[in-house]
Amino acid sequence: MKTQQSYAKNQLGTLYLVPTPIGNLDDMTFRAVQTLKDVDLIACEDTRMTQKLLNHFEIDTTKVSYHEHNVHAQTNELIRELLDGKNIAQVSDAGMPSISDPGVELVAAAVAQNIPVVPLPGANAALTALIASGLAPQPFTFYGFLSRKKSELNEELNHLKDKTETLMFYESPHRLVRFLKELVNVFGEERKIVLARELTKRYEEFVRGTAKEVLDWADKTELRGEFVVLVAGNEEVEEENYWENWTVLEHIEYKMTYEKLSSKEAIKLVAKERGVPKREVYAEYHQK
């Protein structure tokens, strides 16, 4: 076990995880700007991309690149700097580092070395989409990008189709129609879905409807920009052992009230779901 007091005095440097805007530069927080000014080094997914942000906020901190192709070597190098007492901010091109972006290896390596890791709150495409989607905001599963291979995509969707929580995906515009087709195929035409496009930008748009309606829309629209796809949980699946904390009587009453069953039908089903003899359930019901 380990504990981290983020702001205790320390000989080591601190790794700050700094979210950056997903479109609208005004979404950069005061604290994020100040942190990028104060640190010794900014580890960027793409230094040219981050330079635009730094120019806008007049930040002249030294940058190094930290992206999927140099993760291993750069993680070691950045950890050396942190052990040396340097403070480092890690940013990705947009939104939260580590969320479908580079970062996790650096965080894990810092944690392993007891280097404080301090996250800043800020922009994130999935959560921004979720709160305006109109779908259940919790529970949810954030999935990020699904596989680009058709057979793996189909397998992943089959694995997810009975989930009862809201599902959130990232998808590029040129793969969106293919993704929606597979979604209709596996989840059915009636599943409620929401597309959130170009969040925080001028052409921000939400498309809400059934999977089939949204696929038809996407099929006849020139798709541009960035998309979050949100999918309502499967409402037809009853959670396994939903009755676990109920008495037999509560279980029977639930069946009679919400599934409109007679007491006889309810007793039969309750016995089946609980895996106990019908006469036991019957006896309990008639003792009440």
Q: Which residues in this chain contact ligand SAM in the complex, by CB under 6 A?
A: 22-23, 92, 94-96, 99-101, 124-126, 170-172, 196-201, 226-228
The residue number with the shortest CB distance to ligand SAM is 95
Provide the CA 229 distance to its chain's centre, in angstroms. Answer: 11
Distance of alpha carbon 95 from alpha carbon 17, whole angstroms: 11
Query: What residues pair up with 201 in beta bridges, in sequence order?
Result: none
Provide the CA 62 distance to its chain's centre, in angstroms. Answer: 31
Distance of alpha carbon 69 from alpha carbon 86, whole angstroms: 23
CB of 132 to ligand SAM, least distance (A): 11
Distance of alpha carbon 77 from alpha carbon 171, whole angstroms: 32
CB closer to ligand SAM out of 94 and 135 = 94
CA–CA distances in Å: residue 147 to residues 48, 97, 100, 171, 266: 28, 21, 13, 10, 43
Alpha-carbon Rg for the chain, nearest whole angstrom, is 25
Distance of alpha carbon 274 from alpha carbon 280, whole angstroms: 11
Q: CB–CB of 22/94 below 8 Å?
A: yes
Q: How many CA atoms lie within 13 A of 38 on its CB side?
A: 12
CB of 131 to ligand SAM, least distance (A): 13
Distance of alpha carbon 21 from alpha carbon 92, whole angstroms: 10
